[in-house]
Structure 1
Amino acid sequence: MHPDLPSQPYGDLTPDLTLDALEALGQGVDGRLLTLNSYENRVFQVGLQDGGFVVAKFYRPGRWSDAQILEEHAFAQELADAEVPAVPPITLTVDAALARGTASVCGTPPTLGHFGGHRLSVSPRRGGRSPELDDPEVLRWLGRFLARLHAVGARRPFVHRARLDVTQMGRAARQWLSDNEAIPLDQRSTWLSTADQALDLAQAAFDRIDGLRWRRTHGDCHPGNVLWTPEGPHFVDLDDACMAPAVQDLWMLVSGDPQERQVQLGALMDGYESVADFDWRELALIEPLRTLRLVHHSAWLARRWSDPAFPAAFPWFESGSYWGQQTGLLRQQIDLLQSGDAHGGDR
């Protein structure tokens, strides 16, 4: 494997350095530090001297530019200003006495900090639990929430962040895997040819929707990224925010057999359309988007493989059985894309 990012991106991110960074950026920490679950970035719950907590996110080096991160921050703030439940990062200040020239901030307002070669943001801690997605009322609430998020997302485009299309999220991932010889030799030709066929069909599905509307979206709206409170749902992380069709934020919230997914999707749509109109043609993109996610996920694992956290968490990745399974999943997607069984069509 030949990853395109540093092999030890967090090798020097010790607890002392983490706390020093927070102190230098104006947070009065009290020494309490809890590592939160995240493979892509490093995320910590940090105790403050006033008894409260903040969440500090140290961004993976080389993944996003400062401009892309600041666009994420601005979108979160725009959502919060529109009373859409989101948790934007707080404004940072440099404590000159503690920073000793090693810390800086950027953005307007300054929400992105630099310290010791790392970039980080700090947000208020917000609790919650996983949403009960078998409850139709919860799904309707999520639908209303996402319609409001998309209304804000449609106001203007991202300039710097990614576009979730076949070229950027599918073909680029496929090409990286091929160029970097990340696929076992005995599985290589079969997986590549199957991926090519699946991506061609996915592109054809996008092409069939004339005037498809792209907007700012959450981008990675699976149940683990939604927290539920008595006041309703909220997101605490927009790390994968991107330009995409609205359906990208809906399809990962449904699961089960086709009948169960149809019932869940109906409840989501009831909530969504009580707030905003939905282009029902986009439902034909559910299986194409699932196809892109399959290809992109394999490339994501390969690109991160030299980070010690990844072999420990995904020990099966380099095996032939993994790639054989992925080929099988892509063939299933091909069958669905060819049959048109993708929840498509007008209501």
Structure 2
Amino acid sequence: MKAAAKSAETYFRAAAAALAMRSDSSGPDMSVALLKRHYGVTGSIATLSSEVERTIEVGIPDGGRCILKTSTRPEAVDSFRFQTSALAGLQGAAGFVAPTVLRTRSGELMFGEEQTCGYLQTRMEGIPLHQVVPTPELLFRTGRALAQLDLALAQVNVLAAHRPILWHVGCWSRLMELEQYLPSGSVADRVRAAMAEYLEFVEPQISNVVWQVTHNDPSPFNMIVTGQGLGFIDFGDGCWSPRIQDLAIAASHVVSDPTLPLGGAEHLIAGYASIIALSRLETRLLVGLMRARQSALILVNYWRAHLFPADAHYIKKNVARAEHGLSILEPLDVAFGEAAVLAAVSSSLP
């Protein structure tokens, strides 16, 4: 027991340390030289916002666009190993869209030289979900696509799935260390209540649901409406976790309508369950997981905004949504939460 607790503590400290470091975007940009050397590619480049690695959009002469991700951090090697092996394994899967990893001139999924590693992928063309009106039909399709993604990820041989990730549920019991960075008042009260419920009710049972490799961050910024269907980008937080975690995360982001028990997440949950049936335990845990994820997002991002005030606007891009969603889900106890999920699962679109 002591060894397990020590291992969990070590995992949490390593995961927190990774997000306490400034983004690689603040260092010198070697993108042009790296593209030429490892891919034989030249073109225009533009830096995109990113919390960890440097992310560059590359415009190539034939009119296509790619995304180059690079980092000088030692832990990025495992992160990029995960991302590239996941994306490579998803090629050809049905029911959703994902970027394609472009191999280096030597045929590798990623490159490394001296202190820098990275990889190149296609850029997905479409509209992020947060910029689209979230109709019931679209949310239902989003849930179906997410379930198809999870089915595909369960079949992929992914590398470095157990590397430290602060967004992993194994870290959540320690996240209240960050509550000093929360604004006082109702937000802090709701976060404390949600995390207390997680510790008391959800965490003791979470090992009894299905675990697999997951995306672990299907936010409205990482889900894209494309002409070929729903797409998923940014697998940087992916890891080995409860499968239902992907549903809990995506659903937690679309809680917005106070007139509905689950704030409109009903439609996304129904879509997911139409592909992957939820177990009775998953049905009971889902709302608690949704609230805990909203709370984790609030805690981590207030902390990181304190560390990096110049980047606070970008860091907190999902916080207002999480705070509003948490306020909607607050009245649901375990029994009412389970009933609401069961009602959503048994429903269908008109």
TM-score (norm 2): 0.70
Match of 1:120 in 2: 118
Instruction: Give the aligned CA root-mean-square deviation in angstroms.
Output: 4.1
How many residues are paired up?
A: 311
**Residues 236-247 of structure 1 correspond to what in structure 2 (within 5 A)?**
236-242=233-239, 243-246=241-244, 247=247
Question: Residues of 1 paired with 2:135 and 2:190: CA distance?
Answer: 37
Residue 174 of structure 1: which of 152, 163, 176 is its match? 176
Amino acid of the residue matched to residue 255 of structure 1? Answer: V
Match of 2:31 in 1: 18
Q: Is the contact between residue 225 and residue 231 of structure 2 (CA under 8 Å) also seen in structure 1?
A: yes
Per-residue deviation, residues 46-76 of structure 1 (Å, max 9, x unmatched): 12244432111224735x4423431222222
2:223 paired with 1:226: yes
Cα drift, residue 122 of structure 1: 0.8
Counterparts in 2 of 1:280 and 1:154: CA distance versus 1, 3 Å: farther
Per-residue deviation, residues 234-278 of structure 1 (Å, max 9, x unmatched): 112211213233223541352322444648444334433443323
- Deviation larger for 71-80 or 241-250: 241-250
**Residues 1-347 of structure 1 correspond to what in structure 2 (within 5 A)?**
5-7=20-22, 9-14=24-29, 17-30=30-43, 32-59=44-71, 61=73, 64-83=75-94, 84-93=96-105, 110-115=108-113, 117-131=115-129, 132-155=132-155, 159-161=161-163, 162=165, 166-168=169-171, 170-175=172-177, 177=178, 183=181, 198-206=194-202, 207-208=204-205, 211-242=208-239, 243-246=241-244, 247-260=247-260, 262=262, 264-279=264-279, 281-283=281-283, 284-303=285-304, 306-307=307-308, 309-311=310-312, 336-337=332-333, 340-341=336-337, 343-344=340-341
- Deviation larger for 138-147 or 5-14: 5-14
Structure whose CA Rg is larger: 1
Q: Structure 1 stretches of 5 or more lacking a match?
A: 95-108, 316-321
Amino acid of the residue matched to residue 81 of structure 1? Answer: G
Q: Is the contact between residue 3 and residue 306 of structure 1 (CA under 8 Å) also seen in structure 2?
A: no
Cα drift, residue 20 of structure 1: 1.3
Q: Is the contact between residue 113 and residue 119 of structure 1 (CA under 8 Å) also seen in structure 2?
A: yes
Question: Residues of 1 paired with 2:216 and 2:141: CA distance?
Answer: 19
Larger helix proportion, structure 1 or 2?
A: 2
Per-residue deviation, residues 151-175 of structure 1 (Å, max 9, x unmatched): 123336864244965432x133334
Give 3-state SS (helix, strand or coil) of 1:255's partner.
coil
Amino acid of the residue matched to residue 69 of structure 1? Answer: F
Question: Residues of 1 paired with 2:220 and 2:230: CA distance?
Answer: 11
Q: Structure 2 stretches of 5 or more lacking a match?
A: 1-15
Amino acid of the residue matched to residue 154 of structure 1? Answer: A
Structure with more relative contact order (C-alpha pairs < 8 Å, separation 6 or more): 1
Question: Percent of pairs identical after alignment?
Answer: 19
TM-score (norm 1): 0.71
Cα drift, residue 313 of structure 1: 5.1
Give 3-state SS (helix, strand or coil) of 1:29's partner.
coil
Q: Is the contact between residue 76 and residue 117 of structure 2 (CA under 8 Å) also seen in structure 1?
A: no
Give 3-state SS (helix, strand or coil) of 2:121's partner.
strand
Question: Residues of 2 paired with 1:256 and 1:194: CA distance?
Answer: 16
Amino acid of the residue matched to residue 125 of structure 1? Answer: R
Cα drift, residue 223 of structure 1: 1.6
